[in-house]
Amino acid sequence: MTGAVAAVVLIVLILLFNRLVRLRNKVDTAWHQIDVQLNRRHELVPRLVAIVQGYAIHEKEVLTSVTAARSQAQSAASLKAKGPAEDGLSNALGGVMLVVESYPGLKADEGFEKLADELTHTETAIAGARKYYNGSVMQYDNATQSFPGNIVAGALKGSFQEREYFELDDNAMRLTPDVAG
């Protein structure tokens, strides 16, 4: 009888461990999707600056700020640092879009329109990936913090650490998508 109880406990522990591993891997995969979209966004900035620079020669300060914000966003190493850095880039891109409003020829430029569509698509993809990631983090954290998963996670603390949500200022993100408009 004791052997059967021990076997059941062992099976339950193995199943819990495997569930926690799947949830942890889901969080890691979800973060990778955000990272891909953030990198895509970073790649679009130099093209945007080049197109705007051709029309808005006197807007050097705005273009310099978006380039600096891009560099800061690219160099943010931790998840905690990425959120504010990406918000800074969103705000800087919003400043560029305000400049675009002053140059009707730029808004009508085919290259700019295509780039604006790419940027809008990328911003939408970031929002979707962030929502999925944060949902995955919530599932993972719930599983590692509630009974009986907390017992397995606590015993293997190095393997199942609490994950952070990826927070962005939604108002800053809204500045960017309406670029073609």
Whole-Å CA distances, 54 to 22, 48, 118, 171: 49, 10, 19, 28
Tens-digit pLDDT profile for residues 147-166: 999 999 999 878 899 999 99
Check if the beta carbon of residue 85 is closer than 8 Å to that of residue 76.
yes
Nearest one of 36, 32, 35, 100 to 66, comparing CA atoms = 100
Name the one residue in this structure whose structure tokens are 């009888």: 1
Query: pTM of the predicted model, to two decimals?
Result: 0.86
Tens-digit pLDDT profile for residues 51-110: 998 888 778 899 999 999 999 999 999 989 999 999 999 999 999 999 888 888 888 899
What is the band of 180 on the pLDDT scale with cuts at 50, 70, 90?
very low
Residues 6+ apart with CB under 8 A from 67: 45, 46, 49
Domains of the chain by start residue, with CATH? 2-179 (1.20.1440.20)
